[in-house]
Amino acid sequence: MKFNNLIVKDLSEHLRLITINRPRQLNALNRELIRELHDALEEAEKDPGIRAVILMGSGDKAFIAGADIKEFMHFTPEEGEQLSREGQQLLFDYVEQMGTPVIAAINGYALGGGLELALAAHIRIASEKARMGLPEVSLGVIPGYGGTQRLAQHIGKGRAMEMILTGKMIDARRAYDYGLVSEVTPHEKLLDVAVETAEAIMKNSPSAIALAIRAINSAYGRDGFKVESRLFGQAFATEDFKEGTTAFVEKRKPRFTGK
């Protein structure tokens, strides 16, 4: 398959690397990229030869710096809610439910939708340069791709509240302390460590791994994701949302009014 925004490369017989390749926009997720990631992951999932996938961002700066603000600022509330559901199914839930394990190699900023994608992956490994956060409220919106649910699942409700309400980024060390990533590596060693982890997984039974993923996922309910989509749509209808996204594009601080 040919992709405009991805580089797909097999690192060995059973291991595939998918690199998100929009470095000038810090790999921000637009609709085309979400669709392409789904297609590339589906291709890997359906290929019995592929036993693990590594996801990484291109360039030196970012894994994914969030959803593409310049694209989503023009969506209506209905589109917001609909796209939140669609995106969740197409990419974020899809990744989480894949039987082929997905490792997020977080090589820089993982913000908003970018962190949400890493949260949906089965394993997260971060370079010491990585910075992670859910800054949506600084734009007048809330995490809409499962972040309100999965962040709390990974690091607990209190820390998730703090990260989401402040919108602040944390560095890789703190992410490790929180249990958000399982390892922190020197920047240049990140891919090697991700490959070692994939190799450890690939020694095991692929069918048992797929069953283990299903069993682990079955512990977590789905209702909160629907609530998140609905509230995400509501946030799109506010003046704060217009102000927050416009301020980002105009490179200034937002003036929120609560309306």
Q: Which residues form the catalytic set? A: 116, 136
Structural element, H or E, at residue 8: strand 6-10
| Contact status: 228 vs ligand DAK (CB under 6 A) | no
| Contact status: 142 vs ligand DAK (CB under 6 A) | no
CB of 60 to ligand DAK, least distance (A): 11
What residues between 73 and 132 interact with ligand DAK by CB under 6 A? 75, 80, 83-84, 87, 109, 111-113
**What is the x/- site pattern for ligand DAK, positions 12-51, by CB under 6 A?**
-------------xx-x-----------------------
Among 67, 126, 163, 201, interactor with ligand DAK by CB under 6 A? 67
User: Order of strands, edge to edge, in the sheet holding 52-57?
Assistant: 6-10, 15-20, 52-57, 102-106, 123-127, 183-185
Q: Which is nearer to ligand DAK, 76 or 182 (CB)?
A: 76
Phi–psi pair at 182, nearest 5 degrees:
-95, -10
Q: Determine the Cα–Cα distance for residues 108 and 47; give it in Å rounded to an integer.
A: 29
CB of 256 to ligand DAK, least distance (A): 15
Size of interface with ligand DAK, in residues (CB under 6 A): 24
CB of 181 to ligand DAK, least distance (A): 18
Q: Is 189 left (phi over 0), alpha (psi -120 to 50) or beta?
A: alpha
Q: Which is nearer to ligand DAK, 145 or 225 (CB)?
A: 145
Q: Which is nearer to ligand DAK, 101 or 113 (CB)?
A: 113
Q: Are 159 and 129 in contact (CB under 8 A)?
A: no
**Strand positions, DSSP E, 45-159:** 52-57, 62-64, 102-106, 109-111, 123-127, 131-133
Structural element, H or E, at residue 170: strand 170-171
Q: Are 228 and 143 in contact (CB under 8 A)?
A: yes
Q: Which is nearer to ligand DAK, 112 or 254 (CB)?
A: 112
